[in-house]
Copies of this chain bind each other. A is one copy, B any other.
Amino acid sequence: MERRGAGSQEDVRRHNLGTLLRLLHVQGATSRSDLVARTGLNRSTVGTLATQLADVGLLRESTPVASGAAGRPSIVVEPCPRTYVLAVEVGVEHLSAARVGLGGVVLKRCALPQDPGDQDPVRTATKVRALLEELLEEAGAEQVCVGLGVAVCGLVRPTDGTVRLAPNLEWVDVPLGDLLKDELHPQLPVRVGNEADLGARAEHLRGAGAGVQDMVYLSGEVGVGGGIILGGRPLTGAGGYAGELGHMVVNPTGRRCRCGRSGCWETEIGEDAVLRATGRPPGTPLADVFAASRAGDLQVQSGLREIGMWLGSGVANIVNLFNPELILFGGLTSDLLRVLEPDVRASLGSTLHAPRAQVRLELPGLGADSNLIGAAELAFAPLLSDPLGVLAAARRRSGRLLRGAAPQPVAALTAGV
């Protein structure tokens, strides 16, 4: 039962401002008459709200589009990317970062390789700082940062951004949120999430999963992650740790996983498994493996078939467990699907026929950017709940966004990698 009577006029206004801004953030340029139709609010309310958002610089009017109906063309508004977030993805083999403007536009991006032998959390935070410094170089004084969102390949406690476990980074209970806060302006909000959960969120919002109620997004670089949307809402579980598809055992006689079990999905289809199955030494770029397969290397092709069998086996479990409308193959699994789609489809043949008939297998709509865009969405969320309040707080933050002395240049950090 909904609580009644608790909403003041101010709550209603904040809610409506958020609704309008969220819609524009996702849809981009929209006419006022479309906003009226989509929000169910009346024309004068939409006008007032849009003016309030434009006054503070969150929206701007853009060129009116021709209206099909007679009369004046409706005014078109669009989100203004002057308000932005910082987004970071902490992977096993790379760190990437972007400055993302309201509306989801990537304003600038940069990346650093991670050294597989040097994923120390403090050093990682230093590298992230260097990336952020580079992103902020060209941000003018009129641009406003409302937060930092971080995607990491591990289980994250949502309340404080602690990484409870990231097997492939060998991290246990790493306070990543706090480490990054130490580098930043003390009032800049920092939010950390699981990369696959965030990738799913981005794809659901503005990628191949837009409008889909039940979907599974696979992510991965060295391991495999899963982000799951059910009934239009993210699957979180009791503590925010749900969806660890990479740690579903598919082969109990398989190799030991870094999580402690044996034959987890990621040990059977992750990077190490692909190299092992295809007889390639550790460290070989997967692109080389796929190129060898395309060139007709029989050993590689045979090894990949084995990977395809395990990939398909996990996908079949997903179909039986979640009855999704869509499975998106991101990251590593994106490359695998391109090569192994026939094998995966063959495995689908063994699923229960009712859910099988409903599922589509596709690649992410945002390409390799899903997780990073998802991190940006995590950082945008407070603004979209309370546009004026969050923006005002952001403007009150004076001074540099990064604390302390000028940073090490990114070039120095890549030396020797």
Which residues of A pack against B, CB within 8 Å? 1-5, 19, 38-40, 155, 157, 164-165, 213-214, 230-231, 233, 235-245, 247-253, 259-261, 313, 316-317, 320-325, 350-355, 358-359
Contacts and interface: CB of A to CB of B under 8 A. Distances in A.
Nearest to A240: B323
A250 B38 CA distance: 46
A350 B261 contact: yes
A360 to B, nearest CB: 10
List 6 A-B pairs, minimum CB-CB distance, nearest first: A237-B323, A242-B323, A164-B354, A238-B325, A241-B323, A244-B320
A6 to B, nearest CB: 9
Nearest to A243: B321
Nearest to A247: B320
Given A165-B352, A242-B355, A259-B350, 7 more contacts: A231-B235, A235-B322, A238-B323, A241-B323, A249-B250, A249-B316, A321-B321
A358 B239 contact: yes
Given A321-B244, A323-B242, A354 B252 contact: no
Nearest to A233: B231
A358 B252 contact: no
Contacts of A1: 19, 38-40
Nearest to A253: B253
B241 A355 contact: yes
Given A235-B230, A323-B242, A247 B165 contact: no
Contacts of A358: 237-239, 241
B237 A214 contact: yes
A319 to B, nearest CB: 9
Contacts of A351: 247, 261
Q: How many copies does the complex hold?
A: 2
Contacts of A252: 250-251, 313
A357 B252 CA distance: 23
Contacts of A165: 352-354
B155 A321 contact: no
B352 A155 contact: yes
A259 B350 CA distance: 8
A52 B249 CA distance: 55
B316 A261 contact: yes
A38 B242 CA distance: 31
Given A39-B1, A249-B313, A316-B261, A322 B352 contact: no
Contacts of A321: 242-245, 248, 321
Contact of A323 (B239, B320, B325): B239
Contacts of A231: 233, 235-236
A320 B238 contact: no
Given A230-B235, A251-B252, A244 B352 contact: yes
A241 B354 contact: yes
A298 to B, nearest CB: 25
A325 B322 CA distance: 19
B237 A230 contact: yes
Contacts of A354: 155, 157, 164-165, 239, 241
